Amino acid sequence: MTTSISIYVDADACPVKAEIYRVAERYGLKVYVVANTFINVPRDPRIERVVVSDGFDAADDWIVERIGASDIVVTADIPLADRSLKKGAMAIGSTGVPFTPSSIGMAMANRELLANLRAMGEMTGGPKPMTGRDRSRFLSSLDEAVNKLRRRLSA
């Protein structure tokens, strides 16, 4: 039995869905677009829309329950990336920066620090807008992750 690669998208605020669909089409990969609300997806049998309840972390929980070592999770949610790595999946941020076992601890600590600063009123605003460079880095990172998994699965 061969294991196939799937891409799980934490889709509620994902700005790179079109890029994910392009890479998935190129390699013939299954994509799960997971969100708390209805999101339009291309009419493609390999792309599955999953609408979960609006409960806290419902999309994250749905993804984590299903992923394995041959899967890629695309998310800007650092705790979801951490949970994904612990399940053996690869995790990539929407700006193309991969989460790794060696980088996730610092990302979690930085997230906690920023949350504390926001709680004290020190910071406002959200993430910076996506740039063309971010999209290019994301495409490159996703392509690299797919090829790494393909090599691992064929070994």
- CA distances 15 to 86, 96, 124, 131, 145, Å, are 25, 11, 21, 10, 19
Query: Nearest CA to 76 among 56, 60, 52?
Result: 60
* CATH classification for the domain delimited by 6-154, as one of 3.30.450, 3.30.70, 3.40.50, 1.10.287: 3.40.50
Higher pLDDT, 29 or 121: 29
**pLDDT value at residue 102:** 76
Domain residue extents for the chain: 6-154
Tell me the pLDDT band of 13, cut-offs 50, 70 and 90: confident
The answer to whether residues 25 and 19 touch, using CB atoms and an 8 Å cutoff, is no
Q: Is the pLDDT of residue 1 over 50?
A: no
Q: Is the pLDDT of residue 22 over 70?
A: yes
Q: For 85-127, how does the pLDDT look when each residue is reduced to its tens digit (9 = 90+)?
A: 999 999 999 889 898 877 776 666 666 666 666 677 766 666 6
**pLDDT value at residue 103:** 75
Kindly state the percentage of the chain with pLDDT values over 70. 85
Distance CA(92)–CA(98), nearest Å, equals 4
- The pTM of the full predicted model, rounded to 2 decimals, is 0.86
**pLDDT value at residue 72:** 97
